């Protein structure tokens, strides 16, 4: 009798656990949903970048960003500075290519010249912010291995914790990180927090997203406030978004060198 009971209990536990496991998505499944949520045909948004150093000094820059993603998933992005006055009109254009390195151009109105920027070093800071070019790229699911390592609640939002490690040789060479830990919200599949570990395995940066809202007229949810902090030095960049528009049609001509230059005035 006792033995039977025990056996029954054990069986129940096994079945229950198995069913739990079945409910648990894999890291890759989560990231697929994340990617689907992230992906748009096009978008346009205004954002305020506040760079704060460890001593509390601030540099504020206002930019407008438009993006467009083609059928292959390659993204084009144009960023234009609106303020401060001395860099107003400065534009940054990046075009992802599937067969070769991405192209990056910078337009400096004070020189009236478009300059091509080395695109190979993705670990460089983007315009002096705590974000590197790599941080701003769209997630490349094929280049990473994902592992679900737990779940957690961040700022009241339930999230999966997914560990991402580069596996493709190209990405391993390019990336500045040994791994990332992403907190993906269970409701909208947005990254609400990410921890970045450098090549030596040291935890170096913390990304946090908040003020999550549905973009009007779409099924997309976006964080209207992002911070990236260098946890060792204490420097921080805050991005505040406004006037988000998704899939409202952005003309192709925005992503040409000519437009990059012309829009400067």
Rule CB under 8 A: which residues touch another protein? 53, 55, 57-59, 84-87, 90, 106, 108-113, 115-118, 121, 124-128, 197-198, 200-203, 231-232, 258
Shortest CB 86 distance to another protein, Å = 3
Which residue, 2 or 253, has its beta carbon nearer to another protein?
A: 253
Closest contact distance (angstroms) between CB of 61 and another protein is 9
Q: Could you tell me the smallest distance in angstroms from the CB atom of residue 150 to another protein?
A: 14
Q: How far is the CB of 79 from another protein (least distance, A)?
A: 11
SS3 (DSSP) at 224 = strand
Q: How many helices (H) and strands (E) does the chain have?
A: 5, 13
39/58 with CB nearer another protein:
58
CB distance 186 to 159 below 8 Å: yes
Query: Using CA atoms, how far apart are residues 197 and 65, in angstroms rounded to an integer?
Result: 28
> How far is Cα of residue 196 from the mean position of the Cα atoms in its chain?
12
Which CB atom, from 71 or from 118, has the smaller least distance to another protein?
118
- Nearer residue to another protein within complex by CB, 39 or 232: 232
Nearer to another protein by Cβ, of 197 and 241: the residue is 197
- Find the shortest distance in angstroms from Cβ 240 to another protein: 19
Interatomic CA distance for residues 227 and 209, integer angstroms: 7
Nearer to another protein, 16 or 203 (CB): 203
Residue 67: burial class (beta carbons within 10 Å; 0-12, 13-18, 19+): buried
Ranges assigned E (strand) in 70-176: 75-83, 91-95, 103-108, 113-117, 144-154, 157-166
Angle (CA) 128-222-188 rounded to 5° is: 130
**Which residues fall within 8 angstroms of residue 110, CB to CB, at 6 or more apart?**
none
Q: In whole angstroms, how close is the CB of 115 to another protein at the nearest point?
A: 5
């Amino acid at each position: 009798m006792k033995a039977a009971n025990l056996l029954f209990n054990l069986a129940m536990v096994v079945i229950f656990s198995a069913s739990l496991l079945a409910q648990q998505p894999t890291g890759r499944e989560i990231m697929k949903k994340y990617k689907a949520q992230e992906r748009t045909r096009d978008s346009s948004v205004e954002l305020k970048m506040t760079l704060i150093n460890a001593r509390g000094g601030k540099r504020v820059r206002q930019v407008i960003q438009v993006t467009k993603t083609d059928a292959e998933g390659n993204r084009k992005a144009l960023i234009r500075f609106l303020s401060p006055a001395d860099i107003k009109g400065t534009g940054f254009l990046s075009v992802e290519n599937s067969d070769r390195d991405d192209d990056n151009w910078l337009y400096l109105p004070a020189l009236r010249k478009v300059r091509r920027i080395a695109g190979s070093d993705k670990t460089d800071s983007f315009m002096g912010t705590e974000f590197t070019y790599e941080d701003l790229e769209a997630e490349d699911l094929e280049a990473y291995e994902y592992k679900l390592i737990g779940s957690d609640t961040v700022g009241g939002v339930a999230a999966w914790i997914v560990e991402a490690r580069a596996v493709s040789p190209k990405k391993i060479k390019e990336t500045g990180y040994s791994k990332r830990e992403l907190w993906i919200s269970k409701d909208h599949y947005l990254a609400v927090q990410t921890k970045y570990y450098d090549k030596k395995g040291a935890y170096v940066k913390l990304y946090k997203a908040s003020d999550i809202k549905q973009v009007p007229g779409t099924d997309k949810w976006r964080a209207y406030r992002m911070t990236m902090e260098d946890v060792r030095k204490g420097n921080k960049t805050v991005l505040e978004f406004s006037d988000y528009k998704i899939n409202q049609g952005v003309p192709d001509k925005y992503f040409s060198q000519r437009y990059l230059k012309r829009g400067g005035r």
